Structure formats: C-alpha cells, structure tokens
C-alpha cells in the first residue's frame, strides 16, 4: 500500500509539539483494545451484550473456537501444508522407519530411530498449527476521527534505541503504526513486527507467531534431511545383501525411493527458507524490511543488538500478550 503524502504544514514549533502530544495520548488510548464501533451507544446495547468481539471484527481474519483461534481468510492453505507433511511422513514410518527398526532390532539405535521418526514430524506439524492459528499481533483499529482530519500529519518520527524511525498514520486503522508494524493487505489489519503473509501457513507472520513459524521451517528442513538419510540407508542395506542389484533394491524399497525424491524437491524450499531466516534472525530484520531494502542505504538497523541477542529476542522471551481478546464480549 502506498503511503499517503503528507500535506503542507504551516505551524509554529510549539503548536506542533502540543499537537503531537495530543495525538500521542489519542494513540495510546487507541492501541489498547478500543471499543468496537457503536458499542458505546445505548441503542442496541441490550442486543449486543452477548456478541463476541470477533463476530463484528472488521478485518479479514477467520475465527474458530469462539474467537480463541485466529487465522487468515484462506485458512485451507494450512490444511494442504499439513497433508504435504502427514502423507509422506506416514509413508516414511511405514516403509522406512519400521523396516529399519526391524533390521536394527536389539540395537538401541533402532528405538532412537523410531522415536525421532515420530517426534520430528510431530514438532513440524504442531508448530505449523501453532503459527497458523494464533493471533500474529493484530492491532485493533481505532474509531475514525470525528471532524476535520487535516491536522493529522501523515508521518512522524519516533526514537527507537537512539535512532529516529519514521512511522506512518494508517487511515484504515486510524492510528500511527508502531515501528515495524505494517497493514497486511490480506488480513486487512495492522500487524506488529510484520514479517510476511504466508499462504502455506494460511496467515500473516508477525510478532507473536514468528517463533513458531521458525520452528516449523527449521523442523521441516530437519524432517527432509532425516527422512532422506534413513531412506538412503535402507536402500544401501538392500544393495549390500548378496545377489541384489541396485535396481532390485530400488524395486524392493519403492517407499524409500518415493521419500528420497519427494524430500529432495521439498528441501530446496524449506532449506532455502531456513537459511534465509537464519540470516534475517542474525541481523534482526523482518522479511518485509529485507525485501524493501530498509537498511541498505546507510540506514542503521536500530533493532540489531548482535547475533546472539537477536536470536534470544525471538526464542528466549515469553510470547507477547495479545492486543485484543477476540473471545470477550464486544461491549465490555
Ligand atoms: Zn492497519
């Protein structure tokens, strides 16, 4: 979305400062879960008493479980991704992991192999659903300003870790977007620390679900490497059997061959994505910032605190609280 152009402003420095203070107060009150439009009026209040906030939500999100589960409008993407993991992993367990376990019976390695064969896909699939079904950091819209809005400047500078960062006034959500927030065109809401919209996960990746998205990407890459290695190992065991050619071994272990071809294709996607996000994490950049070359033209990244601290910021902190409880009544 193109940012609106700032209009010409002719104000004294003092007048500008007072105005900015007023706007900051308004923003602070708006960002903390403002009431849904019309909920403050007495007309129809009785009828709305039991209406949940998600039922009148203006964004494009899809809600399940009474507003506790939040996903995007094309949520079936996550079901497709789930099947793309579940089906080959079932084939792998049935045609590779169990035969290998039998071959290695009496050996602790066989049990470990079987446990990892169940555990890794479970981590991948559960992190997929975690990232896809949680609020990515949606910022509730503020009520539209009443009267003349010419006095609202379209941009302003805020200080972040000693650096000045430009933030924009969002006319759909009616507030100055916090630094790193962006209005997602798919969800039609502003998302904190917006990373990107992911059709495979079916929702936007933001401040709250980024960690689970990374676990999904990294664990999927490990699933690919692990299943490929085990399948190759099983085929090699067959080849090593007396009077067995490579062709006969491949015919015998068609399931292992299928897995090797399937994950060889898949690993280019998830493996590439893993390397990309390892780079972004180490530099404390979002995908959106990287694509827009936000820090290329001598702009220092004010969020970069060093590689280790950047990783700790994502993996070693509590999931930030939601800005809005969609499951509560809209008129509380
Ligand atoms: Zn917005």
Lowest-confidence pick of 102-111, 191-200, 315-324? 102-111
Ligand 1 centroid to Cα of residue 59, in Å, is 9
204 sits in which H/E element: strand 203-205
This prediction's pTM: 0.82
Per-residue model confidence as pLDDT tens digits over 240-279: 988 888 899 899 899 999 999 999 999 999 999 999 999 9
Q: What is the pLDDT of residue 3?
A: 40
Residue in 269, 270, 274, 264 with CA at minimum distance from that of residue 227: 264
Cβ contact 313:319 at 8 Å: no
Distance CA 327, CA 97 (A): 43
Distance CA 182, CA 298 (A): 22
Per-residue model confidence as pLDDT tens digits over 48-91: 557 888 888 888 989 999 888 999 999 999 999 999 999 999 99
Cβ contact 202:75 at 8 Å: yes
CB atoms within 10 A of CB 229: 12
- Of residues 186 and 36, the one with the higher pLDDT is 186
Ligand 1 centroid to Cα of residue 195, in Å, is 14
Ligand 1 centroid to Cα of residue 167, in Å, is 12
Per-residue model confidence as pLDDT tens digits over 163-195: 888 899 988 998 999 999 999 999 999 999 999
Q: Of the listed 198, 224, 230, 324, which one is catalytic? A: 198
Q: What is the pLDDT of residue 299?
A: 75
Q: Is 156 helix (H, G, I), strand (E, B) or coil?
A: strand
- C-alpha angle 131-133-134 in degrees, rounded to nearest 5: 75
CB atoms within 10 A of CB 289: 20
Q: Is 294 helix (H, G, I), strand (E, B) or coil?
A: coil
Extended strands (E) in 8-139: 62-64, 69-71, 138-139
198 counts as catalytic: yes
Residues with CB under 5 A from ligand 1 (ion): 170, 172-173, 183, 190
How many Å is the maximal CA-CA distance in the chain? 92
Which pLDDT band, with edges at 50, 70 and 90, does 331 fall under?
low
Ligand 1 centroid to Cα of residue 182, in Å, is 7
The set of residues, in sequence order, having a beta carbon less than 8 Å from that of 202 and lying 6+ positions away, is 71, 72, 74, 75, 76, 77, 78, 81, 132
Ligand 1 centroid to Cα of residue 222, in Å, is 36
* Dihedral of the alpha carbons of 186, 190, 194, 197, in degrees to the nearest 10: -10
Residue in 315, 303, 311, 316 with CA at minimum distance from that of residue 278: 311
Q: What is the pLDDT of residue 108?
A: 83
């Amino acid at each position: 979305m193109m940012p609106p152009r700032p209009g010409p402003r002719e104000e004294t420095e003092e007048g500008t400062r007072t105005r900015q203070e007023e706007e900051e107060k308004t923003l602070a009150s708006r960002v903390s879960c403002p009431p849904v439009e019309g909920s403050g009026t007495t007309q129809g209040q009785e009828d709305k008493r039991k209406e949940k906030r998600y039922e009148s939500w203006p964004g494009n999100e899809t809600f399940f479980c009474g507003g506790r589960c939040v996903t995007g409008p094309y949520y079936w993407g996550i079901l497709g991704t789930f099947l793309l993991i579940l089906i080959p992993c079932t084939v792998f367990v049935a045609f590779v992991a169990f035969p290998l376990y039998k071959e290695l019976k009496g050996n602790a390695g066989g049990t470990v192999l079987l446990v990892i064969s169940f555990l890794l896909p479970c981590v991948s699939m559960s992190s997929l659903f975690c990232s896809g079904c949680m609020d990515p950091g949606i910022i509730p819209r503020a009520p539209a300003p009443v009267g003349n809005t010419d006095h609202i400047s379209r941009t302003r500078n805020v200080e972040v870790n000693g650096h000045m960062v430009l933030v924009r006034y969002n006319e759909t959500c009616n507030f100055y977007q916090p630094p790193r927030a962006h209005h997602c065109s798919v969800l039609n809401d502003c998302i904190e620390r917006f990373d990107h919209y992911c059709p495979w996960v079916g929702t936007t990746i933001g401040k709250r679900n980024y960690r689970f998205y990374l676990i999904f990407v990294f664990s999927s890459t490990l699933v690919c490497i692990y299943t490929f290695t085990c399948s190759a190992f099983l085929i090699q065991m067959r080849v090593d059997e007396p009077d067995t050619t490579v062709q006969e071994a491949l015919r015998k272990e068609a399931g292992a061959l299928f897995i090797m071809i399937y994950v060889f294709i898949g690993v280019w996607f998830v493996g590439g994505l893993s390397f990309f996000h390892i780079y972004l994490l180490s530099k404390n950049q979002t995908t959106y910032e990287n694509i827009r070359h936000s820090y290329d033209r001598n702009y220092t990244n004010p969020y970069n605190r060093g590689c280790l601290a950047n990783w700790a910021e994502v993996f070693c902190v509590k999931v930030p609280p939601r800005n809005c409880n969609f499951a509560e009544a809209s008129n509380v």
